Amino acid sequence: MDSIWIEGGQAAGECLRGDVEADVAVVGAGITGVAAALRLAAAGRRVVVLDARRAGAGNTGRSTGNLYATVSSGLAKLRGKWNDADATLAVVARARAIDWIEQTARELGIDCAFRRVPLHQCVLDGASQELGMLRDEHEAARALGLGAAWGQQVDGWPLRPAAVHTLPGQAHFNPWRFVSGAVAALRRQGVPVYEHSRVIDIDADAGVVTTPEGRVRAGHVLLATHTPMGINLLQTKMEVYREYGVAAPLEGRGPSDASVWVRDGKWSLRTHEADGLRWLVIVGGKHKTGEGGERGDGWYDALRAWGREHLGLRGYSHAWSAQQYASADGLPYIGRSGHGRVLVATGMGADGLVWGAVAGEVVDTLVRGPEGDDDPLARLLTPRRLAPLKSAKSTLKENATVARHMLGDRIEARRDDAGPDDVPRGGGRLLKIDGEVRAVHRTEGGELIALSPVCPHMKCYVKWNGADGTWDCPCHGSRFDVEGRVIEGPSLEDLQRLG
Ligand code: FES
């Protein structure tokens, strides 16, 4: 089972072969990459887009497809870290980005099921401490100029909430269809979008991006890769999470079109309609990357069980997971990275679809020239910002987590006396073999595949992800398949195969 959004059937684009030149090389063809590429191309820039796999098949194609001006960590928290003028600037930029997605889909004729819907945030248990937090959230939304309503019902849904905070006029869409349509439009405009072109090296000073079979030399390099590739100081400021999604077809009409966040339980729900069918999507089960354990399908089962109990869902047809990089101060890092010609767009947390579209605007502003750095939105989101008071707690906590994994995981692996018989079919485990620690996976056919457990990025040990059948690095989120190939994250290299 895979994401409800990602469709097969379309021919993949060509991979990059040979040397090309561009004003801007965009690495990553998710929403961030295509939003930037569309704006840059419209401004007359020569743009080249590269993606390691299929355009949109990374975290964009595994998102909720929800579009909202608020932020999922909460406006009340945002106001606690930033003044109201800055928080308003962020919220207004997000609302403008939703308008841009709507307008772009209409102008390019992209059939991405874009719909304006309300976003309901609710608390089911009246005794939950989330109730007071929901009230704070409602007040924060109103203070920042978002028209918000307070009530006790999620209209058209079979939920019995204690309280509901509603933002009207938000939206949802099919993110894969939007990106696929945008890529087709870019190609029609003469912008090359190379797929299956994994970047293996970046020369930040020269502006040269290298793939296995080609190179792009560019005035600017935008890393629209969710997290910067290679080693970047920003990685020490971000927490990395995984989250799960399931979808089930609805019998009959089902709930009315909306996005719903159930705050006590941390479930994100939405309807989706395509090709005459209606679906219910549930996303939740968030945990730090590398700390999900060997739970196998357990994360998905929890979502399915909640949907059965509360919404009467049956016959789940899709299941998928995605990764998030959360910044330390509640706003993403978008702009010049401090490394040569490289621009980054990262730290978007669970709100990456809208921040990705915002990044397109900011990158377009910055590429126009040095005066772009004075743009208020670019100044707010710059990765060079120093916000020690806003981010100190989170940064310290995350660096302690990385230190714990760097040292503790090594000690733990050396103490473990498990042997090959302890690795089940389809499972994985760190084992000591001839005194050396190995990351060992047993295929469904019974074959053992041994890899080095050392993540090439900064040498943490990877951990088995039982839900997705991958090796995940708990330090900065690099992920590898059972053969050791990089799936995502900052690592530019694969895990070493040892048997
Ligand atoms: Fe940084 Fe693995 S992702 S050490």
Q: Which pLDDT score is estimated for 437?
A: 93
**Residue 159: pLDDT band by 50, 70, 90 thresholds?**
very high
Distance of alpha carbon 151 from alpha carbon 43, whole angstroms: 45
Query: Residue 409 C-alpha to ligand 1 middle, in angstroms?
Result: 13
| Residue in 478, 479, 494 to alter for ligand 1 test, most ligand atoms within 8 A of Cβ | 478
pLDDT digits (tens, 9 = 90+) for 337-362: 887 799 999 999 999 999 999 999 99
- Residue of the CA atom closest to atom 1 of ligand 1: 476
Count how many Cα atoms sit within 13 Å of the Cα of residue 136 in the half-sphere of its side chain: 14
What is the per-residue pLDDT for 91? 98
Residue with tokens 């998905």: 300
The pLDDT, as a whole number, for residue 382 is 96
Three-state secondary-structure class, residue 60: helix
pLDDT level of residue 8 (50, 70, 90 thresholds): confident
Whole-angstrom Cα distance, residue 160 to residue 149?
17
Pseudo-torsion of CA 217, 218, 223, 224, nearest 10°?
-110
pLDDT of res. 390: 58
**Ligand 1 pocket, 234 CB below 6 A?**
no
C-alpha distances in Å from residue 23, one per residue of 198, 209, 307, 390, 432: 20, 13, 48, 35, 49
User: What does the mean pLDDT of the chain come to?
Assistant: 92
| Residue scoring higher pLDDT (251 or 125) | 125
pLDDT at 5 over 80: yes
Task: Find which of 5-14, 81-90, 293-302 is predicted with most confidence, using mean pLDDT.
Answer: 81-90
- pLDDT classification of 166: cutoffs 50, 70, 90: very high
Q: What CA dihedral angle connects 440, 3, 343 and 392, to 10 degrees?
A: -70
Residue 82 phi, psi dihedral angles, 5° rounding = -125, 155
pLDDT of residue 306: 96
Q: What is the mean pLDDT of residues 62-72?
A: 97
Q: How far is the CA of 178 from the centre of ligand 1 (A)?
A: 31
Does residue 388 have a pLDDT over 80? no
- The finding on whether 460 has its CB within 6 A of some atom of ligand 1 is yes
pLDDT of residue 410: 65
Confidence at 401, pLDDT banded by 50, 70, 90: low
Residue type, 23: D
Atom of ligand 1 nearest to the CA of 406: 4
Can you give the pLDDT at residue 219? 96
Tell me which of 226, 229, 323, 476 to substitute to probe ligand 1's pocket, judged by most ligand atoms within 8 Å of the beta carbon.
476
Q: Give 135 Cα–ligand 1 centroid separation in angstroms.
A: 39
Nearest to 475 by CA among 374, 411, 401, 397: 401
Backbone φ and ψ for 325, nearest 5 degrees, come out as: -120, 115
Q: What percent of the chain has pLDDT over 70?
A: 93
Interval 225-240 mean pLDDT: 86
What percent of the chain has a predicted confidence (pLDDT) above 90?
A: 81
**Ligand 1 atom showing the smallest separation from residue 458 Cα:** 4
pLDDT of residue 407: 63
Beta bridge partners of 268: 261, 283
Collect all residues with Cβ–Cβ distance below 8 Å to 322 and sequence separation of at least 6. Answer: 59, 62, 63, 242, 243, 245
- Please give the distance, rounded to the nearest whole angstrom, from the Cα atom of residue 229 to the centre of ligand 1: 11
The mean pLDDT of 8-23, rounded to a whole number, is: 86
Distance CA 187, CA 438 (A): 44
pLDDT at position 391 over 80: no
Per-residue pLDDT at 394: 56
495 lines ligand 1 (CB under 6 A): no
Query: 85 C-alpha to center of ligand 1: Å?
Result: 36
Torsion of CA 412, 418, 422, 423, to 10 degrees: 50
What is the average pLDDT across 306-333?
94
pLDDT tens readout for residues 262-293: 999 889 999 999 888 999 999 999 999 998 87
- Find out whether the beta carbon of 475 lies less than 6 Å from any atom of ligand 1: yes
The Cα 401–Cα 438 span in angstroms is 22
